[in-house]
Amino acid sequence: MAAVKMLALLSAVCILTAVAEEVAKLSLGDWHVCAMGSQGSVKCWGNNGNAQLGQGDDVRRGDGANEMGKSLPTIDLGTGRHALEVNSGASHNCARLDDGLLKCWGYGHLGRLGYGDQVQRGGNSDEMGDFLPTVELGTGRTAVQLALGYEFSCAVLDNASVKCWGQGGYGQLGIGTTSNMGAGSSEMGDHLPPVDLGTGRTAADVTAGSYFACARLDDSSLKCWGHGEYGQLGIGSNSYTVGRVSGEMGDNLPTVDLGTGRTAVELSAGVFHACARLDNGSVKCWGRNNNNQLGLGFATSINMGDDANEMGNYLPPVDLGTGRTAAELSSGKYHTCARLDDGTIRCWGKNEYGELGHAGTLPSNVDLGTGRTAVHVAAGGYVTCALLDNQETKCWGGNTLGMLGLGDTQDRGKSSSDMGSATSSTAATDEAREALQQLD
């Protein structure tokens, strides 16, 4: 039997046990983690107080013995269906299925699941699989990419438009009102207007922060809307909100200035900050900087993007190390990590639970173990995970509710003894060791 191991700091935990299936992507919420396999199966662990694990109960998983690996059930997405993408909000998830349709589960407050009500789904036996409806995106429309914020969800559709639903109080739905959408009848499908990105403009992809969103457009420009108090919209002002009043979107919404000749190829966003990986491999971050989440390379609490002359050529790039460029970005609530061109992981920002994988707050590399490099990085809440070149996955940070999947609630990552070769499978727990023995 082939399987993929999740090595997460001093212990090894098996995530997927399906034949020939490996972990392909990870998605992190505030206090839970989801893994999508190479064949489209999905498993989630950690907090389950709002049914975000999709197991028909409210029992958290990953903080006790015999809860991971073969003991962790895959999520039932429906007969014959598998996932092409999974994205996590604070307490909910959405999966883009092989037929292009969406299914969402977890906390339903304010319509973030998009089902025309505020009902939580995933906590009862008759709420997943074929019982779980698909999200209505409009006549003939399917989804091609997802982004979930704290209490809202967004999707890029097959016609390159963007639709967002859920909480709209900060203008994060981009429809010129403060109305919530998705919690009542006649609010989804053809009734839900797309985000106005400007005349002739379409979206390449979208990312969601806690209460704001950004879209990378077809002309490689970048636009952000929603909560902007700390400059996280990158428009050179501290407008409390953009997008909640008519006339603020479309051609009236300015693009984010990333510097002369520079364009974004990837975006990530946290609670009050956003980051872009640029076409030259550099990274720029803007918004609130009270926890060094902008990675400026020096301790400062100065926000960037909320005043004139702070964006564009004025905004310094993150220090990635001599000669290094970024290949991938991912942000948690108050931190960001980059996978670099040489496969190292570099993290910066708040480090309350060890989510940076080192002792500081400024940009520094994470010790993944002797000879190991990363092929994927994912951050969320107060946790970071990296998929390694040997198909192991290492996670570090807060573990209060079992997010690290180690069978305990001990945080890991601040001490050097937590990282690097200390994550060897030879230090596995009995449960993990038993799971690994089944690889033969």
pLDDT (0 to 100) of residue 299: 61
* Residue with more model confidence, 3 or 356: 356
Give the residue-averaged pLDDT of 114-121.
98
Mean pLDDT, all residues of the chain: 92
Confidence of residue 297 (pLDDT cuts 50, 70, 90): confident
State the residue for tokens 């953009």: 242
270, amino acid identity: G
CA–CA separation, 359 and 347 (whole Å) = 11
* Residue with more model confidence, 48 or 19: 48
Provide the token pair at 132. 């779980």
Q: Please state which of the ranges 226-230, 295-299, 375-379, 402-406 shows the lowest mean pLDDT.
A: 295-299
- Chain segment 89-110, per-residue pLDDT in tens: 999 999 999 999 999 999 999 9
- Chain segment 127-172, per-residue pLDDT in tens: 999 999 999 999 999 999 999 999 999 999 999 999 999 999 999 9
pLDDT (0 to 100) of residue 14: 53
pTM: 0.93
Sequence-distant (6+) residues with CB within 8 A of 124 are 56
pLDDT (0 to 100) of residue 424: 29
Domain spans, the chain: 4-439
CA-to-CA dists, residue 70 to 79, 274, 388, angstroms: 21, 37, 21
pLDDT (0 to 100) of residue 332: 99
CA–CA separation, 209 and 366 (whole Å) = 24
pLDDT (0 to 100) of residue 436: 29
* Distance of alpha carbon 201 from the chain centroid: 25
Asked whether the beta carbons of 418 and 7 are under 8 A apart, the reply is no
CA–CA separation, 307 and 277 (whole Å) = 22
3-state secondary structure of 190: helix
- Chain segment 404-440, per-residue pLDDT in tens: 999 999 999 988 889 987 642 222 233 333 332 332 2
Sequence-distant (6+) residues with CB within 8 A of 139 are 189, 190
Give the residue-averaged pLDDT of 327-338.
99
The CATH class that applies to domain 4-439 reads mainly beta
Q: How many Cα atoms are found within 13 Å in the side-chain-facing hemisphere of 355?
A: 31
